[in-house]
Structure 1
Amino acid sequence: MPPRGSQKLEEIVQNDLHFKIGDACLINPERGMTLPFVMLKVVWYYRPEEALGGRKVFHGEKELFESDHEDEIHKDTIIGKCFVHSLRKYEDLAPVTESDFYSRFMYRPALKVFEPDQVPVFCLCEQPYNPDKVMINCTVCSDWFHPNCLGMTAEDVQNLADEFFCPSCTSEQPQTKRPKVAD
């Protein structure tokens, strides 16, 4: 007869996948509960559209918010394994798989606050960085810009070679070094 009460497991196997404490997993709360009745203590990640303010233009497609929302779920609700990286580590992945996500914010749903509550902004549009959108770096001032905010096409970006001068720095450079900007 199995022991009664709860016991702490260091690892479980679900859907032929091994899960250890600290692993991230994909959940389907609609799935049934079979014996043995194993409950897991989890901390939720939120999608931007599930948090206060909803999805913003600077939220990447694979962005999740870490949270302090703890819960208990049944092991049968696990449908797969995923990996949540820091933004920096996510950018270094090659390739990024459908199981890879990143987080750069902590969301506290009970308080409806984010940490950090401010992030650096870039470009003429003054938006935080979104890894899904191409940005180019000014050779002179080192500021970052979205090519489309400058009226540039993908072809314009490819033709830049090794130097790009933003609108503020363009007037300071000789005419021969100016990038072509679409009208």
Structure 2
Amino acid sequence: MEADVEKSHTSTVGQGVGAGVTETIEAEVSPDFTIECPVRPPKRRLKRKRSSVPEVKDNVHTDQDAPELAPNLHIEYAVRPGHQWRKMTKYKNAKFKEPFDVIYSSGQIIYVNRHTPVRPSPPADASEDEKLQYDKENFWVGLISDFRAESQDKVYVRVFWLYWPEELPMGRQPYHGKRELVLSNHVDLIEAQAIASHAEISQWDENDDSNKTVLQELYWRQTLDLKKLARDPGRALSKLREFCICGGYDNPSLDMYQCHKVRCGTWNHEACLVKAIEERAWEKFKKGALTHEVQEREESKGLAQKVGETVSHLAHRAFGIDEVKTEPQSTTTAIANGNKKLKAATDDKRPWTGKLQGQIIKVDRGDADDTHYATVTQYVPKSRRMSAPSSPSDFEPKVWHMKLGCLKCGAALN
């Protein structure tokens, strides 16, 4: 992405317009106009006696529109002063000539500078997470609706905002991916010189199970409806497709496994699969019958070696010798009606914690499909008391190979 632009550049709007004039980046909504979205219903006015003083009408322009990418998301907005807004020429394109020719058009997604002057870009060796954080702190993301021009140095852009999940009124939800945005019908006005660059944002169709859809670096799949936000916040975010037997959602930052059995096709959350494996192993462990559920095959020998290399580290974690770093629990407001997410670790009753740990390991087979194996690592000896030894050296952890099956139909996934 082209995150940085020159502080001064020239622009023309539409076609057949003369030479541009110098513009200054100002990443704020134009002070010349105010916009109200959604439009609040007018207050009831009490009837009053006739007066010789004429009533001043509100100079407002009201209209309805919807994002081009979500045409069912209609909303009414108001611009003041309306007379000045209406008399400006409307365009679908805006052309910038410096530092290079670039055209922005209706229906395109753009980055909008949040700061003046534009902050320096992150260093070339910055991590992907650092670059993403820079974008979130320095850019808004908008979908262009149209341009209005009073003159070449007074060009305005009407946009629909895309929200970073952290910017949502209800906050980031557990199913939001690291690079996810949310499209809204929030109408706003910016000055054209605040545009930083085009933004490559993919639309993710959750109903496409072909696994052939390649998402861009950033993507959106969910919408925010400002009309519903005021009267029913729980329904402001569009409903997502439910997956797995838990009825939860798909976080693209986490893996899911699809069952390929005819008439099933269930997508299984990795966390749900691991929990099911641990529950099954725990019942066997309590009876002193925990052993391999599947025999180690020739192609899984590399897996066993890999697991063995990490068992010592995992054992230290299980016995609390090394501090376990965990992500802070989300304090965001839960979405009502369909907020079926994986329960937080603090709510889960897992009596096997510190004694057994499940894991799904992926083996890259080159050009062939990857192979997945399920294991359970046993950290404590078989004991009726189920008490952990004083240190990991008292017991050599064991790795058991487990079946990996669809949580709905039981068909093998590995």
TM-score (structure 1 length as normaliser): 0.70
Residue 176 (structure 2) aligns with: 59
State, as a whole percentage, how many aligned pairs show the same letter: 23
Contact 1:31–1:76 under 8 Å retained in 2: no
Give me the whole-angstrom Cα distance separating, in 2, the residues matched to 1:124 and 1:156.
26
Conserved? CA contact 2:266–2:408, under 8 Å: no
Measure the CA separation in 2 of the matches of 1:11 and 1:78: 13
CA RMSD of aligned residues (A): 3.3
Match of 2:225 among 101, 108, 111: 108
**Structure 1 segments unaligned to the other structure (5+ residues):** none
CA distance in 1, matches of 2:413, 2:246: 21
Q: State the Cα deviation string for residues 11-57 of structure 1 (Å, max 9, x = none).
A: 2134643101111100113347xx71211111111122212321112
Tell me the distance in 2 between the aligned counterparts of 1:73 and 1:20: 15
Equivalent position to 2:269, from 135, 143, 146 = 146
Q: Secondary structure at the match of 2:166?
A: helix
Structure 2 residues not aligned, in runs of 5+: 1-17, 19-83, 118-151, 230-234, 275-358, 365-369, 374-403
Contact 1:10–1:21 (CA under 8 A) maintained in structure 2: yes
**SS of match in other structure, 1:38:** strand
Q: Does 1:69 align with 2:281?
A: no
Q: Which has the larger radius of gyration?
A: 2
How far off is 1:114 after superposition?
2.6
TM-score calculated relative to the size of structure 2: 0.34
Cα contact 1:30–1:77 (8 A) shared by 2:
no
Q: Matches of residues 1-183 of structure 1 in structure 2 within 5 Å?
A: 6-14=88-96, 16=100, 17-31=102-116, 36-88=153-205, 92-93=213-214, 96-97=216-217, 101-112=218-229, 113-114=235-236, 116=238, 118-123=239-244, 125-140=246-261, 141-151=264-274, 152-155=359-362, 158-160=370-372, 165-170=405-410, 179=414
Kindly provide the CA deviation profile for residues 58-85 of structure 1, in whole angstroms up to 9, marking residues without a partner as x.
1122222221111110112111111333
Structure 1 runs of 4+ with >6 Å offset: none
d(CA) in 1 for partners of 2:176, 2:258: 20
d(CA) in 2 for partners of 1:73, 1:82: 16
Would you say how many aligned residue pairs link Structure 1 and Structure 2? Answer: 163
Q: Secondary structure in 2 aligned to 1:25? A: strand
Letter in 2 for 1:21: S
Counterpart Cα distance in 2 of 1:128 and 1:12 = 39
**Structure 2 residue matching 1:49: 3-state secondary structure:** helix
